[in-house]
Structure 1
């Protein structure tokens, strides 16, 4: 990060931007879906927003023009893009208070039928993308000894399921990364939050966000065709309202102690509770065997 940007971060408390109670949000994937709703909710709450996406024009059209909005080009798979977008945010608003790692996509399919390059591409976007952006934002937050890093995980980041092996792998990885990041940055006044939504009515299952598999193995072919039809039939009928999630997220981000993990949606609550019960039951079954593996001299 350039010296002039660092100097702006360290501006005196009397600076006009620093003196305002507004939060400055930096949101990835703000051109559609959940990202757009979060940007609108933050603006409605009186905050400033840096809304990013591959097409700034599309982002601006989706969010709507306002003095508190800056739209910036950002391909999250590009570290150079992430650095440039953060510098643009600092030039405009002087700081970043809340980072929302929202951008992502979905490579559907049974594991054996997923080409290796599709699996890698899933991780490149859903895992390494947030890593790129967070790596660019953390120096800004450390300089101010303040900030909140929010990463949109998924119910699929806690509960795996067939046809989602690549997507779940990327979200499970996000969970481990964020849990590990939290104690690393806590001494600098930076907090983290994982958001685990269930099924919300976003564009995730549309062809612009989902790469549907082509049947390649006879044993899976019919199941693949049926599963694709079933999932496409769910699109637009998901029970969760992304606008309500966005409003709730803004409220959580304003708390002095936001939760490190927020399960979003009644379906996610039910499924994660069941996963917790299952894990505890699995531990209990082999408690004796598992607890007697130490060296005899221990």
Structure 2
């Protein structure tokens, strides 16, 4: 049966690859761009195969308006993919308040508000699959990536709770955690703290340089990631978390092992606090 997908942020990267793969397989895509010119060009190219809207996920009235249009124009919605967002590098001390808020507005609050506005559609249908595009950095933090990590940790936190809340209603939730992929994530769309403190050159500074160095040569293929995401939407019991790429798997295993070791080492001290 033909599915209808709503994917935010399809101008480049994983969002673009996923939208194209979904269209190629015969499903219908509702996508979003921040630029009206891109929206018009997409609609002229795909006509009956897809429909684009201009949307800034940080503009919450815009989110509500666009989703109301979707409700009025389409009979059903099967998959929501919260993909819009951006990367940010900088140590915790280097990052100013506005920079941190901008990251959270896009990566956390944008996804939260899109999810909240789509949920009434899914509840009425008693079906739907929410795909949250997180990161392996949404499970394990890295020096120089802390504010981005925090935004994705927050996304994963509400999504993990959401999965428990909506499961009885026939709604599924999957958190996708890509490692490094050959997208524009590390390119023009990546942002940096405006302040640089030399004392952090060997930690967050190294991370900034690493991000620049890997742009365009990352291990991950976005087209293969798109195929993996499409595959889990066909499953009756999809995973809550889906790491993508060898680096992502190594990252998750490293965090799990570290936590397990610390629990074991300090178990007696922790238990001594109870009666």
TM-score normalised by structure 2 residue count: 0.94
Instruction: Give the unaligned 5+ runs of structure 2.
Output: none
Q: Tell whether 2:51 aligns with 1:51.
A: no
The partner residue of 2:109 within 128, 143, 153 is: 128
| Alignment-derived partner of residue 171 in structure 1 | 152
| Alignment-derived partner of residue 50 in structure 2 | 69
| Alignment-derived partner of residue 236 in structure 1 | 216
Partner Cα distance (2:39, 2:12) in 1: 7
Instruction: Give the unaligned 5+ runs of structure 1.
Output: 1-20
Partner Cα distance (2:249, 2:145) in 1: 19
Correspondence list, 1:35-184, <5 A: 35-59=15-39, 61=41, 64-184=45-165
Report SS of the residue matched to 1:181: helix
Contact 2:144 2:208 in 1 (8 A): no
Partner Cα distance (2:196, 2:209) in 1: 17
1:256-279: CA deviation from partner (whole Å, max 9, x where unpaired): 221111111111111211211111
Greater CA drift, 57-66 or 33-42: 57-66
Greater CA drift, 50-59 or 70-79: 50-59
CA drift at 1:215 = 4.1
| Aligned CA distance change for structure 1 residues 168 and 62 (closer, same or farther; 3 Å) | farther
Q: Tell whether 2:269 aligns with 1:289.
A: yes
Partner Cα distance (2:264, 2:205) in 1: 39
Contact 1:31 1:60 in 2 (8 A): no
CA drift at 1:182 = 0.8
Contact 1:36 1:62 in 2 (8 A): no
1:90-114: CA deviation from partner (whole Å, max 9, x where unpaired): 2332121100000011221111111
Report SS of the residue matched to 1:239: coil
Partner Cα distance (1:226, 1:287) in 2: 35
| Aligned CA distance change for structure 1 residues 88 and 75 (closer, same or farther; 3 Å) | same
CA drift at 1:82 = 1.4
Report SS of the residue matched to 2:32: strand
CA drift at 1:117 = 0.8
Larger CA Rg, structure 1 vs 2: 1
| Alignment-derived partner of residue 10 in structure 2 | 30
| Aligned CA distance change for structure 1 residues 57 and 250 (closer, same or farther; 3 Å) | farther
Contact 1:215 1:225 in 2 (8 A): no
Greater CA drift, 258-267 or 286-295: 286-295
1:88-146: CA deviation from partner (whole Å, max 9, x where unpaired): 22233212110000001122111111111101111111000000100110000001111
| Aligned CA distance change for structure 1 residues 270 and 218 (closer, same or farther; 3 Å) | closer
Report SS of the residue matched to 1:67: helix
The partner residue of 1:248 within 211, 228, 233 is: 228
